[in-house]
Structure 1
Amino acid sequence: MIPPKPPARPDKVSLLRYLRLFRRDILSAQPERLYRAWMAEFRTPFFRSFLINQPELVNRVLKESPEDFPKSDRIGEGLRPLLGNSVFLTNGETWKRQRRIIDPAFEGGRLRDTFPAMLAAAQAAAQRLEAQAGQVTEIEEVTSHAAADVIFRTLFSIPIEHDIAAEVFTRFRAYQRAQPILNLAAFVPLPRWLPRFHSRATRRNAARIRALITALTAERMRAIEAGSAPDDLATKIMTTADPQTGARFDMAEMVDQVAIFFLAGHETSASALAWALYLLALYPDWQERVAEEAQALDGNSDFSTVSQLKISRDVFREALRLYPPVPMMVREAHCPHQFRDRDVPKGAQVVISPWHLHRQNRLWDNPDGFDPARWATENGKTCKREAYIPFSAGPRVCTGAGFAMVEGPLILSVLLQRFRFEIVPGKDPVPVAHLTVRAKDGIWLRVVRR
């Protein structure tokens, strides 16, 4: 049984149809040949775009010459109302300064400190799911709730039930469903003074989310000044000075960063967890292996148990391969380059697609199949080094990658320790790209108490 992927479009379509497909769902807008091509070029009247699917080219853009390929503003056009000037959207010296302040909060030692909050959120998710035992349940909602709880507990030391946390979560779900990953400004170069074609609902929800985050940030600043702030991620980031300038984030900058922590830490984890649970329902033998391994958590709330969740980690890693939460990354060539003897002019858009790279027919054994055991094979080890980038790679690798690789296997293990998840006939999910890779009509599974 092969996990579902979107139907590919024909190799040749008109520009108008392509743009319509792209705006609705960037995955099904792509032709089947991209799963075997090393590179593809796409031209519009406004820009040229190169999708690179060869490890050597991906390595050049992300690791060898990252300053030649900064993040494209075209993606930022759609996310700016919520994320402002966050580390996800900035480039150059601004980005470097932001990373110097943020990175220390996510160093290895801090993961041990955040583990109790992650475990508490996982246990709370299992407790909430008790009420749905025996029922068919929309799993993306379950994992979104759990991942949001992790973020609020680790960032601000408050559970999802906190009034502000609950409203941010509710507003963000509405924002995620209404906001396409790209808007018109991604395709057509617009002057700065023209409106960006964001819907009224998008602007309203983004403004409210930022107002709520501002309230939490202001409250934390007061606690820091009073010496009563908890030692969590928010406190760590807000009290860390740039080692080069000595400056800290001001209020506006911190609000921008919290917004991206919520997007990157909640939305992406929720996506990966939902697909992982679906895959385990599709492959019950693997589900039972994870459930058996999860017994290591019995009566043990120590960080050392994380190292025992090896099968769960391989399952989560495989879910990230098949359904990478961020399916495409866009960079812009700041100077001319050559890719495979083809000129890449300055200003060209360079698209790196984890979705296609992770299923590249020339690289992976059984590329469309679910096989957590692949990571112990020579092919799996090679591809993990050269063709596996769910968190990007190089200097712009996701700050929270280590965080996610603790959170994901832990939540899976806690849920599977208590429940079994079963496929619902006729409810096969169809992957689409919104802000992350989600299912078109949700992921519906039957939840059964063990």
Structure 2
Amino acid sequence: MTAPIPPKPPSRPDRVSLWQYARLFRADILSAQPGRLYRAWMAEFRTPFFRSYLINEPDLVRTVLKDRPEDFPKSARVGEGLRPLLGNSVFVTNGETWKRQRRIIDPAFEGGRLRDTFPAMWDAAEAAALRLDALAGREVEIEEEASHAAADVIFRTLFSLPIEHRLAQETFQAFRSYQRSQPILNLAALVPLPRWMPRPFGRTTRRSAAHIRRLITDLTRARADEIAAGDAPDDLATKIMTTRDPETGDTFSTEEMVDQVAIFFLAGHETSASTLAWALYLMALYPDWQDRLALEAEALGTCDFAVMSQLRLSRDVFRETLRLYPPVPMMVRENSCPERFRDRPVRRGSQLVVSPWHLHRHERLWDGPDSFDPDRWHTQNGRACQRDAFIPFSAGARVCPGAGFAMIEGPLILSRLLRDFRFDLADGPAPVPVAHLTVRSDRGIRLKIERRER
């Protein structure tokens, strides 16, 4: 019997009008793209306002992200869509501001800190299993449960608070409202609006973002008081708020810390929730793999960081999920000087789109690009593509500082849930991936949950 192919959004025709493209883009940027991008090394898009180039050739991706990142700063148009929530966070800044922010943030995510934060991740995984135990025998919307688990990890590791804490729960609910109202890119990504013109944010988006920032401000000020009193817990918030820039000696102000916590919540909660939900769906779609991971998960006994070395299959499945459903499907850079890529002139100020979505499924790079195959990471093709065409956390200087964190959190929670529960497909059509803040399902992901006999 042929294995099922994981769901993929439809592609639009190669030629559509700018008006049609804008309408498709606003609805979902994945299905707004033509199918040829899964084969092209480079593609040019022209609008009356700017030119955009999607680049899939590994050498070009390496040039933009790794070799010359300062020549290709993050496009301000992407930041426009997230500015109400993220302010001036490390996700949207460039140049010296970004460098200063990373000098303060990066020490909190160094390798040794993963061992320190592991108990909080373990407790969040146990709490997620307890919540699902109460739902056993039912059909569950698994994206909601994955969001709950990922938010719990963030609050426990960042502020030493479980998701049940009042401020944590209120922030989580406000973020869910924001996620539903805000696409990853808005009209500002297509049309360069003058600075004086109001940005096209809906009232719900503005209201949710303002509410989230007020809650984060309360958490940050409370932690600052604990630090001043000398009784703050040794978690990520304390580490970041007490780290001084080695060049200036400054620490983050309260406003700056609010900006950074907002992106930690976005990157650490929204992206992890997206990948965990798709991983559980894939386990329901491929029950043989689910059983293999459940057997491996028997190694989970007591809270011990060393157990992660035994979750090799879970790590392969999580990596394959990141390949098929990268949480951030597109990254946009802007070239600061005239370039020539693949014998084409690229004007200064053009947008350069690096698309993990298309790169991870590129037909000229990967064997079986649309197939679910966690074993691929141990093949010659898989190892080569992991090096040259796998960028779920970006790459180079702007690689996500929490990449190592995510690769512990995801396989741990996935294994912990599969150890105790079986996930089966619910009746109805397969979920179709669409891009909101991250790659989510068009109608949620419903799975049946049963307790597993151990």
TM range (shorter): over 0.9
Deviation at 1:427, TM superposition (A): 3.4
Q: Check conservation: 1:27, 1:432, Cα contact below 8 A.
A: yes
Paired residue type of 2:355: S
Aligned counterpart, 1:4: 7
Match of 1:389 among 374, 388, 391: 391
Q: Which letter maps to 1:99?
A: R
How far apart, in 2, do the equivalents of 1:284 and 1:87 lie? Answer: 40
- In 2, the alpha carbon distance for the partners of 1:194 and 1:339 equals 34
Q: Which moved more, 1:181-190 or 1:68-77?
A: 181-190
TM-score (norm 2): 0.98
Residue identity in the other structure for 2:432: V
**Aligned match of 2:16:** 13
Q: Distance in 1 between matches of 2:350 and 2:193?
A: 16
Deviation digits for residues 329-360 of structure 1, max 9, x if unmatched? 00001011111000111000000000000000
Query: Using the alignment, how far apart are the partners of 1:198 and 1:382 within structure 2?
Result: 42
Deviations 1:8-31 (A, max 9, x none): 001111110001101110000001
Give the secondary-structure state (helix, strand or coil) at the position aligned to 1:421: strand
Residue 50 of structure 1, CA deviation: 0.1
Determine helix, strand or coil for the equivalent of 2:315: helix
What SS is found at the alignment partner of 1:441? coil
CA distance in 1 between counterparts of 2:409 and 2:433 reads: 23
CA distance in 2, matches of 1:13, 1:186: 18
- Of the structure 1 ranges 175-184 and 302-311, higher mean CA displacement relative to structure 2 is found in 175-184
Deviation digits for residues 19-52 of structure 1, max 9, x if unmatched?
Answer: 1101110000001111010010000000000000
Decide whether the 8 Å contact of 1:6 with 1:28 is kept in 2: yes
Q: Residues 168 and 209 of structure 1 are in contact (CA less than 8 Å); yes or no, is this contact kept in structure 2?
A: yes
> Identity of counterpart residues, as a percentage?
74
Q: Which residue of 2 aligns with 1:406?
A: 408
CA–CA distance in 2 between the matches of 1:86 and 1:404?
20
Give the structure-1-normalised TM-score: 0.99
Aligned to 1:112: 115
Provide the residue aligned with 2:197 in structure 1.
Answer: 194
* 1:110 partner letter: R
Aligned length: 449
Q: Secondary structure at the match of 1:132?
A: coil
Whichever residue aligns with residue 40 of structure 2, its letter is A
The whole-number CA distance in structure 2 between the counterparts of 1:21 and 1:349 is 19
Q: Distance in 1 between matches of 2:429 and 2:263?
A: 32
Query: How do 1:19-34 residues align onto structure 2 when only pairs under 5 Å count?
Result: 19-34=22-37
1:425, distance to aligned residue in structure 2 (A):
2.9
Cα distance in structure 1, aligned partners of 2:320 and 2:373 = 7
Which residue identity is paired with 1:312? S
Q: 1:353-392 deviations in whole A, cap 9, x for unaligned?
A: 0000000000000000000000000000000000000000
1:441 aligns with 2:439: no
Contact 1:335–1:346, Cα closer than 8 Å, also in 2: yes
Shift of 1:159: 0.3
* Counterpart in the other structure of 1:38: 41
Does structure 2 conserve the Cα–Cα contact (< 8 Å) formed by 1:181 and 1:435?
yes
Partner of 2:298: 295
Residue type at the aligned position of 1:333:
N
Superimposed CA distance per residue, residues 105-124 of structure 1 (whole angstroms, 9 cap, x where no aligned partner): 00000000000000000110
Is residue 263 of structure 2 the alignment partner of residue 263 of structure 1? no
Instruction: Return the letter of the residue paired with 2:229.
Output: A
Q: CA RMSD in A?
A: 0.6
2-structure distance, mates of 1:150, 1:360: 33
1:217 lines up with 2:226 in the alignment: no
Runs of at least 5 residues in structure 1 that lack an aligned partner in the other structure = none
Q: Distance in 2 between matches of 1:402 and 1:131?
A: 31
2:340 alignment partner in structure 1:
338
Match of 2:56 in 1: 53
Aligned residue type for 1:19: A
Distance in 1, matches of 2:27 and 2:100, equals 35
Where 1:446 maps in the other structure, the secondary structure is strand
Taking the aligned partners of 2:401 and 2:429, their CA distance within structure 1 comes to 35
How far is the alpha carbon of 1:202 from its aligned partner?
Answer: 0.5
Alpha-carbon distance between aligned partners in 1 of 2:46 and 2:388, rounded to the nearest angstrom: 28
8 Å CA contact retained: 1:427, 1:444? no
Residue 90 of structure 1, aligned match among 68, 78, 93: 93
- C-alpha distance in 2 between matches for 1:447 and 1:427: 18
Q: Quick one: distance in 2 between partners of 1:367 and 1:306?
A: 28
Runs of 4+ with deviation above 3 angstroms: none
Task: Please state whether the residue corresponding to 1:448 is helix, strand or coil.
Answer: strand
Q: 3-state SS of the aligned residue for 2:134?
A: helix
SS in 1 for 2:450: strand
Find the counterpart in structure 1 of residue 280 from structure 2. Answer: 277
Is residue 127 of structure 1 aligned with residue 118 of structure 2? no
